[in-house]
Chain A
């Protein structure tokens, strides 16, 4: 070897296999969004089990056959391929199950839109999130079918905040350490505050309804209180971390639908 010339080592076999794995994989997940790309293709985002939120081009994604599959919430099997790891790559998509149950009811349809929009808005790309993935699957399957889905949705938002580093600590009072009569959440620390400790600051604190601690919501008004609290942290903590972009309008519309329903109750 000539002196001064850098020696370029040939790629080892296991390196090639690792690269091959990264640029050609199969997984499954929930479809978050699909946008038209050119005349016939679509760029889709899928929240996959092992690869997190991942985008790719679907050739023929605007076709009559595939457009029906590429709906938010649909569970799909995907095969991703790219020439280089940082390319957007292309997906081959096969439907596993449509989440049409969510479309049967106005509230669950708006909840589906909100969940998919929040995931597309906030999840880092290509980072697996196994607990959040499992919770999302559970929620999407329950929408419109399981009567307890509104409570699940609320807990799912708490889980989303937790996953992204903005989790709330609702186990004990931030002031006294008490675990009883926790009825408020501090808007600054995200920790629970008991009724006794709240004192004169009670009106400055966020509500902590029982449904935020896992009890099924007794009414739409109670669910709204819980969403008010999670919404505060989504808006004041999560959104600024996402480059100060506003929260997806789909979440606001979901809350509005619930508010109108609560007014009728």
Chain B
């Protein structure tokens, strides 16, 4: 309890809803913000207000930006003909952190799931097929999670775009950098062995 200050209590309550935070850690974070009012609280409030006013989904790829077209879709240099399909915006940001992929993205917004009744219409698959036609895409890279739902979605998309006659690839699966064989499950070892290559 903050001894009768509803504004602060409301802030704690809202902060506690964020992932990774509970009531105790939210209280600590709010206390820290108040102590560093000028350096932290005011700039944070301003930044949040600005993002709340401008953040939106890119109409083309589903990325989150501050314009109707995100920075990647608006950049002509990224029109390499390669299109990387990811499940979520967080995956797109993870790919961008690696600074390896220079093409464009398409965010599905989930995977096909029989249990949760998520079908192709709920995902952005029809829009994907449109984009492949409009943007003269030469290769589609399926960068979906290596889960059963992710693999099912990847195969489904591959089937949908097969008639368009473009190259469809997926990320390799196997031993992660720094991984030790002893700690890997048999599924990963099987995938790694199947995808072995000559040195």
Alpha-carbon distance A106/B185, docked complex (angstroms): 22
Tell me, in angstroms, the Cα distance from A117 to B112 when the chains sit together: 12
The distance from the CB of B183 to the nearest CB of chain A, in whole angstroms, is: 10
Contact with B along A101-118 (1 / 0, CB 8 A): 101101001101110110
Contact A98 B155 (CB under 8 A): no
Given A35-B115, A73-B148, A113-B114, A104 contacting B159 (CB threshold 8 A): no
Q: Which residues of B in the span 146-174 have a Cβ within 8 Å of any Cβ on A?
A: 147-148, 151-152, 155-156, 158-159
Residues in B neighbouring A104, C-beta threshold 8 A: 194
Most buried by B among A69, A73, A98, A117: A98
Given A68-B185, A100-B187, A104-B194, are A109 and B115 also a contact pair (CB < 8 Å)?
Answer: no
Q: In the complex the two chains form, what is the Cα distance from A114 to B115 in whole Å? A: 11
Task: Give the size range of A's interface with the partner.
Answer: 20 to 34
Contact flags B94-115 to A (C-beta < 8 A → 1, else 0): 0000000000000000001011
* Cβ contact within 8 Å between A110 and B115: no
Interface membership of B51, Cβ < 8 A: no
Q: With A35-B115, A100-B191, A120-B115 as given contacts, are A112 and B148 in contact (CB-CB < 8 Å)?
A: yes
| CB contact list, B43-100 vs A, under 8 A | none
User: Smallest Cβ distance from B184 to chain A, in angstroms?
Assistant: 10
| Majority secondary structure, B binding face | helix
A 219-250 binary contact with B (CB < 8 Å = 1; else 0): 00000000000000000000000000000111
Distance in angstroms from B162 CB to nearest chain A CB is 9
Query: In this assembly, does A167 line the interface, its C-beta being within 8 Å of a C-beta of chain B?
Result: no
Partner of A72, one of B112, B148, B156: B148
Min distance, Cβ B118 to any Cβ of chain A, angstroms? 9
CA distance A33 to B59 in the complex (A): 33
Contact B185–A103 (Cβ < 8 Å): no
Contact residues in A for B185 (Cβ distance below 8 Å) = 68-69, 95, 98
B148 and A113 contacting across the interface, CB-CB below 8 Å: yes
* Residue A253, interface by CB 8 Å: yes
Known: A113-B152, A249-B119. 19 other contacts (CB 8 A): A35-B116, A39-B20, A68-B185, A68-B187, A69-B185, A71-B148, A100-B187, A100-B191, A103-B148, A103-B187, A106-B158, A109-B148, A109-B151, A109-B155, A116-B114, A117-B114, A248-B114, A249-B114, A250-B114
- 19 residue pairs of the A-B complex, CB under 8 angstroms, read A39-B20, A67-B147, A68-B187, A69-B185, A95-B185, A100-B186, A100-B187, A100-B191, A101-B190, A103-B148, A103-B151, A109-B152, A112-B148, A114-B114, A117-B114, A248-B114, A249-B112, A253-B156, A257-B159
